[in-house]
């Protein structure tokens, strides 16, 4: 199993545990993507603090943000992946306009060397509950 497959399986399991019944019936209109981010190696700790604060705020205050899960490559912590699930495209667009997202983008602007967003389609989700 390669790193990407492991990440997707792990993120899927977390998504199920966190979101509970929201994933009992996967909806076709959910907006799901993976962000592949390369961080300046000298700023990894600052980036981790910023992304943690952003994720905690987004999940707490935005009902349509179902899952945000950030992980880094164990062998190269400058390689970060964020698994994102939103209720729908409109929820995602609102998220991009939120104050906490704008603060995150401003705070991490000099930390992020590259960003690639990969839009995905749900195929299957299997996980055990808490």
CB 68 within 8 A of CB 58: yes
Q: Based on the number of CB atoms within 10 Å of its own CB, is 84 exposed (0-12), middle (13-18) or buried (19 or more)? A: buried
CB 59 within 8 A of CB 15: no
Domain formed by 3-7+29-120, architecture: 2-Layer Sandwich (3.30)
Half-sphere exposure of 25 (CA within 13 A, CB side): 0
Q: How would DSSP label each residue in 1-26?
A: --HHHHHHHHHHHHHHHHHGGGGTS-
The span from the CA of 32 to the CA of 111, in Å, is: 24
The span from the CA of 17 to the CA of 10, in Å, is: 11
Return the domain boundaries, the chain. Answer: 3-7+29-120
- pLDDT tens figures, 77-123: 999 999 999 999 999 999 999 999 999 999 999 999 999 999 999 88
- pLDDT tens figures, 5-32: 444 445 554 454 444 444 444 566 899 9
Task: State if pTM tops 0.85.
Answer: no
């Amino acid at each position: 199993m390669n790193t990407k497959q492991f990440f997707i399986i792990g993120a899927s399991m977390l998504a199920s545990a966190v979101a509970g019944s929201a994933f009992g019936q996967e909806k076709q209109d959910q907006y799901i993507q993976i962000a592949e981010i390369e961080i300046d190696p000298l700023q990894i700790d600052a980036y981790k603090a910023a992304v943690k604060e952003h994720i905690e705020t987004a999940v707490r205050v935005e009902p349509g943000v179902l899952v945000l899960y950030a992980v880094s490559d164990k062998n190269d912590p400058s390689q970060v992946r964020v698994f994102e699930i939103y209720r729908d495209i409109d929820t995602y667009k609102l998220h991009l306009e939120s104050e906490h997202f704008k603060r995150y983008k401003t705070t991490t602007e000099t930390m992020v060397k590259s960003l690639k967003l990969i839009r995905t389609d749900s195929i299957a989700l299997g996980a055990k509950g808490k």
